[in-house]
Amino acid sequence: MIFVVNKRTNSSMATYTGTLFDNGSILIGRWVMVTCARRLLVSWMVLGLLVNLAVAQEKPTPTFANVAYGPAERNVLDFYQAESQRPTPLVIYIHGGGFVGGDKTSIRPRMVRMAHEAGISVAALNYRFVDGADVKFPKPQLDCARALQFLRSQADKWNIDPRRVACYGGSAGAGISMWLAFHEDLAQPDSDDAIARQSTRIVAVGTMGGQGTYDPIKIKELIGGRAWEHPSIFKIYAVKSAEEALHPSKELQELYDESSAITHLTADDPPLYMIYSEPDIVPPADSRPGQFIHHPNFGKQLKREMDKLGIENTYIHTDNANGRDPEAEMMQFFERRFEAVR
């Protein structure tokens, strides 16, 4: 581009890059509006980032919100229906929060959007929080099992394919998702309750920072440090001391086993997609109680055991993702599993 400008002009918006011809009053040369172009480029980049962020974070509106699936106050779910003429697969989101907090509204909008683009419906569950007394393990797991059965019972009304259901979640939600995936079917075929007759088996499971075991003895061995001292560990079993937690009665040990997903793992269980992001280090001796409760050693143990049984599994640590998009890969993983069930 050729510009003719007064040589006395000292515009900060233009930078000369070519040959000058000086006739005393006019400079003729090839000018590139570098500073201006840079500012314009940055503006467009920022605008694009804001637009993409707004789209990614825009809260989707449930087709049906706060639908009761059980008698407790927190036995409610949201359902995001995909547009389809045929019954759709279903992905169920189970929130985290240490079994004492969190909410179904924490579902990432991007996951709902990706699912809908693939013709997959989505549900997000609430479940009872443990209180160290009346509500303890495995009541949160059983709540989510009931929600899964309820969703299957709504298959005709909500255009769901009950054969193609997957679960995913982070932390506590990951633990529940794996428990549902690995536990034997909780269906009661002879029940008078039509919901209880539904299966709790699923075809795929995805986790983020999930714990395969909630046995404090095994957590201490597997992770080290003080992860096993997480406050929720005491509350989920209603134990009052470290002595009681690490030297359980026969009944308490049985509860540890029943409540941990990995205890139920068998060769006929569905594939697992795991994401971990906590540092892959040996927890220091001065770590805080409960710190490293999302340690990648949980995932490595699951991978070892699933490999032994010949069950498909994927383990990803975000430090080594090398530009990959684990969240999108998880949704693609669900899609492949749903296709296999057709």
Which residues are within 8 A (CB) of 175 and not within 5 positions of it... i.e. 6 or more apart? 169, 210, 211, 212, 214, 261
Q: Which residues pair with 26 in a beta bridge?
A: 6
Token readout for 213 is 């075991």
Would the pLDDT of 25 be above 60? no
Percent above pLDDT 90 for the chain:
82
Rounded Cα distance between 120 and 169, Å, is 17
Number of H helices, E strands in the chain: 11, 12
Please report the pLDDT score of residue 57 as a whole number: 60
Please report the pLDDT score of residue 187 as a whole number: 99
pLDDT per residue as tens digits for the range 83-105: 999 999 999 999 999 999 999 99
Rounded Cα distance between 182 and 309, Å, is 13
Please report the pLDDT score of residue 4 as a whole number: 39
Q: Which residues pair with 3 in a beta bridge?
A: 29
pLDDT per residue as tens digits for the range 159-217: 999 999 999 999 999 999 999 999 999 999 999 999 999 999 999 999 999 999 999 99
pLDDT per residue as tens digits for the range 42-54: 444 444 544 455 4
Q: Which residues pair with 275 in a beta bridge?
A: 208, 316
Please report the pLDDT score of residue 27 as a whole number: 38
Q: What is the pTM of this model?
A: 0.84
Residue 285's pLDDT band (cuts 50, 70, 90): confident
Positions of E strands within 11-80: 15-16, 21-22, 26-32, 64-68, 76-80
Kindly report the average pLDDT of the chain as a whole number: 89
Instruction: Note whether 111 and 325 are within 8 A (CB).
Output: no
pLDDT per residue as tens digits for the range 56-78: 468 899 999 999 999 999 999 99
Token readout for 79 is 């359902």
Instruction: Note whether 200 and 149 are within 8 A (CB).
Output: yes
The number of beta carbons lying within 10 Å of the beta carbon of residue 42 is: 10
pLDDT per residue as tens digits for the range 317-338: 999 999 999 999 999 999 999 9
**Among 313, 10, 3, 25, which Cα is nearest to 181's?**
313
**Amino acid (one-letter) located at 154:** Q
Which whole number is the average pLDDT over 112-133? Answer: 98
Domains and CATH numbers, the chain: 2-55 (no CATH), 61-341 (3.40.50.1820)
What is the residue-wise DSSP string for 316-329? EEGGG-TT--HHHH
